[in-house]
Structure 1
């Protein structure tokens, strides 16, 4: 599961705007804005969440699943 907070945090780590994420994912900017307007799990179609996750992971984000401390994100180590 992917949360809105994780997406926002991932964008912040990458210094990406909603527009940048839209270009990278193929999801429209208004859709991203709508999804990010609530503090919940990413809603809408499952494929939309996968497109967002795939684009962010391709840019170097690692999604950390719930492990007792809560879900999160971090960047991959650069070589």
Structure 2
């Protein structure tokens, strides 16, 4: 799905603050802050919205479900739309 570490890393790749992610995804800043810090686990629907928001900005998620993956991660596959 989406881990707190992947969320923080995806924001870093895009140079987004938590507030920018909240604005882009229409998810509350407190929800994002609590998720990234491990204080709460959002519902699957919320995690899906966050993931789709990142993917539309060019982030590719690496789930780490296959041998040699090194675990879950993220990478930027295209430039963010704001920089295109």
Classify the TM-score, shorter chain: 0.7 to 0.9
Root mean square deviation of aligned Cα: 2.0
TM-score norm. by structure 2 comes to 0.82
Aligned positions, number: 77
Q: Secondary structure at the match of 2:74?
A: strand
| 1:76 matched residue in structure 2 | 77
Query: Could you say which structure has the larger radius of gyration?
Result: 2
| 2:53 matched residue in structure 1 | 55
Consecutive unaligned residues of structure 1, counting only runs of 5 or more, are none
Structure ranking higher on relative contact order (CA contacts 8 Å, 6+ apart): 1
Regions of 4+ moved over 2 Å = none
